[in-house]
Amino acid sequence: MPIHRVTLAKMARVFSGIQPSGDLHLGNLLGALMNWVNHQEEHEAVYCIVDLHALTLPQDPEELRTNTLELAQLLMAVGLNPERCTLFAQSHVPEHSQLAWLMECTVSYGELSRMTAFKDKSDRSDFISAGLFTYPALQAADILLYDTDLVPVGDDQRQHLEITRDIAERFNSRFGETFVVPQHVIPAAGARVMDLQHPERKMSKSQDSVNGTINVLEPPDSIRKKIKRAVTDSDGEVRFDFAKKAGVSNLLSILGAATGTDPNKVAESFDRYGDLKTATADAAIELLLPIQQRFAELQADPSETRRLLKVGAEKAQEVASQTLNRAKQNCGLLEA
């Protein structure tokens, strides 16, 4: 009989990714990144800048490189600490594209055709790459490579998570237990930050709505102006009701997410739209200013950021290579 019996519960592993497609906006921050920061304190957290996914739409090579480096600096400015989490660029860990091929051979054409993100993006693009169509297979590879339990994302990633689970289950049932089937984690407030000018659609870098989007690096004056001009409605009642009052509800959910308060509760504190707008602008500025200051400091030393990304990629690869080998073996590829 052992003298000491120590039971160590396995720490849940968290994985998530973000595209280096230009500026980071308030939706990314409230819908996903604030949660990423919290998870690194409690779980084993792995975060990836998905530069290969960015290639699914046309990119300027120099801009992509700059955006990738700056996104790493922004993520650290938001609070990711490379000593507490693994932070890396997707293209630095070749296992992602290798497992993606196995995922492409596990998902069907029909399933990929039903992805709403593909429909949206292909409607807006002249050149529709094959990579844009198979995008969810690469995303499934990202997640499954790390035996991920939890995936913190905004609401728009729901369908991508569902297809990831389907792919994992199908692979497991065909070839035996290979992958952990992950769960998504979507925040109660901030999961869908909407465009300030078109509150029926999500705030997005790709929508080209300058006045509807607040960037994380936006100066305070501009934040205040945009929130002041945000579309509301004419009934004058401050109430959280996305179906009937999208503009007002969006402001309530931004203020709620920025201050960690339920948007319904936030609504009780205001009688007038003007006051709600002032408080929302104040909260956004208070949240973003320290991030902007840290970003300016980090920007001064790009070689340190590159070093940290390299360390992150090495840590990530240790786990990723084991999962890829398991998957290759289980599906019948001959060992080299």
Active site residues per annotation: 121, 202, 205
Q: How far apart are CA 235 and CA 248, in angstroms?
A: 11
Site string for ligand TYM, 52-71 (x = CB under 6 A): -x------------------
Does residue 139 belong to the site contacting ligand TYM (CB under 6 A)? yes
CA quadruple 9, 44, 178, 132: dihedral, nearest 10: 160
Nearer to ligand TYM among residue 120 and residue 329 (C-beta): 120
Regarding 75 and contact with ligand TYM (CB under 6 A), the answer is: no
> Residue 229 has what DSSP assignment?
T
Instruction: Give CA–CA dist 288/219, Å, rounded.
Output: 9
Which among 73-81, 100-108, 155-163, 219-227 is the span making contact with ligand TYM, rule CB under 6 A? 155-163
Q: Counting Cβ atoms within 10 Å, is residue 331 exposed (0-12), middle (13-18) or buried (19+)?
A: middle
Binding ligand TYM by CB under 6 A: which of 193, 255, 266, 287?
Answer: 193
| Long-range Cβ contacts of 223-227 (<8 Å, 24+ apart) | 223/281, 223/284, 223/285, 223/288, 224/281, 224/285, 226/196, 227/196, 227/251, 227/277, 227/280, 227/281, 227/284
Out of 13, 14, 16, 86, the residue judged to bind ligand TYM by CB under 6 A: 16
Q: What tokens appear for 322 in the block?
A: 């084991």
Residue 215 forms beta bridges with which residues? 25
Cβ-closest position to ligand TYM: 31
* Residue the block writes with tokens 């929508």: 207
Among 13, 160, 226, 277, binds ligand TYM (CB under 6 A): 160
* Smallest distance, ligand TYM to C-beta of residue 204, A: 6
Q: Which of residues 25-54 bind ligand TYM (CB under 6 A)?
A: 27-28, 31-32, 50, 53
Of 153, 168, 227, 285, which lies in the binding site for ligand TYM, with binding defined by CB under 6 A? 153
Among the listed ranges 3-11, 105-113, 196-204, 292-300, the one in contact with ligand TYM (CB under 6 A) is 196-204
Number of residues interacting with ligand TYM: please give it, by CB under 6 A: 25
Residue from 70, 104, 147, 156 in contact with ligand TYM (CB under 6 A)? 156
> Please, what is the minimum distance in Å from the beta carbon of residue 203 to ligand TYM?
4
Q: Which is nearer to ligand TYM, 28 or 280 (CB)?
A: 28
For the four alpha carbons of 107, 64, 185 and 145, in that order, the dihedral sign comes to positive
Report the distance separating Cα 165 and Cα 102, nearest Å.
Answer: 15
Q: DSSP code of 193?
A: P
Dihedral sign, Cα of residue 107, residue 109, residue 111, residue 117: positive
**Interface pick for ligand TYM out of 85, 203, 223, 308 (rule CB under 6 A):** 203
Note whether 68 and 109 are within 8 A (CB).
no
Q: Tell whether residue 285 is a contact of ligand TYM (CB under 6 A).
A: no
Tokens linked to 106: 């596990």
Q: Which of 45, 191, 214, 246 binds ligand TYM (CB under 6 A)?
A: 191
Q: Name the site residues for ligand TYM (rule: CB under 6 A).
A: 16-19, 27-28, 31-32, 50, 53, 139, 142-143, 151, 153-154, 156-157, 160, 191-193, 202-204
